[in-house]
Amino acid sequence: MTTTARRERLPELDLYRAFAILGVIHVHASSFAAAGQASASPYYYLVNLMNIFFKYGTPCFIFLSSFVLFYNYFGTPVNRSLLSRFYKKRLLYIIAPYVAASLCYYTLVQAFYVTDHPPLASILQTFGLKLATGTAYTHLYFVFINLQFYVLFPLVLWLFQRFRRLVAWAVPIGLAIEWGFVLWNKYVLVLPNKGSYAPTYMSYYLLGLFLAVHFDKLRPWLTTGFRRQSAALRTATLAVWGSWLAAALIHVQLYHNGRAYGIWVNSTWYEALWNLHTLLSVFVLLQAAFWIYRGASSSVVGFLSRLGGLSFAIYLLHPVFLLAYRRFRYTIAPDSLTYLIWMYAGVPVCLFLAWAVAASTFRWVPGAEYLLGNRPAGRAKPQAGRPAGQRAGETIGS
C-alpha cells in the first residue's frame, strides 16, 4: 500500500465538535442537581432530562477522535515514519496538556478539599496513581481513554489495512468487544470506574474506522438537505432521527424513574440505552453539522466553528469555572424555579469563561498548545462549491 494524497479537510467537523462540547457542559452543569441536590424539586424532570439527554457528548468526541485518525491515516502504510509523527503529535499536544491539567486539578483539589497535608512523597505517589488512571479530576478520564486507544491505534490500523474485509465487520467487532467487557465487568471484575477504560467505547472507535473508510458513501446522506433527498435517503433520515429521539427519551425516563421514585431496573438496560442513544447521536450530530454548515448564516457557522476549534481547550478548562460558579449558590432553595434557572445559567457562564481564557491563552501565551492542545487554525466558511484543501485536524475529539 502506498501513501495517498492528503484527504480533503472537513470543516463541518468543527460544528460537530461544538455540539459535542455543549453536550458535555450540559451534563456537568446538571450533575449535582440530578444526582440528588434537586430531587425534591417539582422541576426535577427537566433537571434529569438535561443530565441524561446530553450524555452524547463524550462518546461523540471519542467517535470523532477515531474517525479523524482513520480518515487521515488509513491510506498510509504503518512504518517507522508514521509511528514517529503520530506519537510525537500525541506527546506534544495531548499528553503534555493532560499532565498539565492533571497537575492543576490535583493541586486545586488539595487546596480546596484536603485539610490534612501528608508528606510530599505520599502526595507525589497519589498524584502519580491518579495521573496513570485518569482520575486527577472527574472529566480527565476522557483524555485517559483516548491515550489508551492511541497505544492501540497503529496495530488496529495495520490490522484493518492488512485484512480489508474486516472493515465491513468493524462495528459488530466493536460491539462484541464493548459488550464482552460490560458483561465481564458486571459479573466478574466489578470495576468502580469502568468508563475509564477504552473497551467501554470500542463500538465508537470502530464505528469511526468504518465511517472514515466509507465516508464517500455516507457523504450524500450528510450533504443533501432533507427536501432534496431521494425517497431512500429521506427514509433513512427519518428512521435515524426518530430512533434517536425515542432512545434518548426512554433513556431519560428510565433514569427519572430510578432517581425520582426509586424504581430501578437491571443495569444492562441502562448500558443498552446509553449505547443506542449515543451511537445514534453520532449520525444525528454529523448530519446536523453538515446541514447547518451549508444552510446557516456565516455568523452562525463562524460562531460554531470557533467554538468547535477550541473544544478541547474548553473541555480542559470549564470545570474550574463550574466549580467557582457553584460556590455562589448561597441560599437558593433546590426545589425552586430560581434554582433551575441558576443551574442552567452555569452552562453559558462556564462555557464563555473557558472560551475566553482559551482564546486569550492561545493568543498571548507562548507554547499554549502544550497546555491546551493543538492551536486552532483560522476558519472561514468557504464559498459554495469551493473545496477546502487542508487536512483534517488530529487533536483529541477532532
pLDDT in tens, 209-226: 999 999 999 999 999 999
Does residue 378 register a pLDDT over 90? no
Least confident of 92-96, 119-123, 166-170, 189-193: 119-123
Mean pLDDT of 374-392: 53
Q: What are phi and psi of 8, to 5 degrees?
A: -60, 135
**Predicted local distance difference test score (pLDDT) of residue 331:** 84
Does residue 383 register a pLDDT over 50? no
Mean pLDDT of 368-388: 67
Mean pLDDT of 180-209: 96
**Predicted local distance difference test score (pLDDT) of residue 387:** 40
**Predicted local distance difference test score (pLDDT) of residue 395:** 53
Name the residue with higher pLDDT: 3 or 237.
237
Distance of CA 275 to the CA centre of its chain: 14
pLDDT in tens, 276-290: 999 999 999 999 999
Q: Are 1 and 306 in contact (CB under 8 A)?
A: no
Mean pLDDT of 2-23: 85
Does residue 117 register a pLDDT over 50? yes
Q: Which three cell numbers stand for residue 71?
A: 480518515
DSSP state of 1: -
Mean pLDDT of 239-263: 98
User: Band of the pLDDT at 327, cuts 50, 70, 90?
Assistant: confident
Relative orientation angle of helices 311-326 and 96-113, to the nearest 10 degrees? 0
Mean pLDDT of 166-177: 98
Name the residue with higher pLDDT: 376 or 296.
296
Q: Which three cell numbers stand for residue 235?
A: 427514509
User: Band of the pLDDT at 70, cuts 50, 70, 90?
Assistant: very high
**Predicted local distance difference test score (pLDDT) of residue 278:** 98
Q: Which three cell numbers stand for residue 118?
A: 501528608
**Residue 109 to residue 318: CA distance in whole angstroms:** 15
Mean pLDDT of 390-394: 49
**Predicted local distance difference test score (pLDDT) of residue 392:** 52
Provide CB contacts within 8 A for 323, sequence distance 6+: 108, 112
Mean pLDDT of 51-65: 98
**Residue 327 to residue 342: CA distance in whole angstroms:** 12
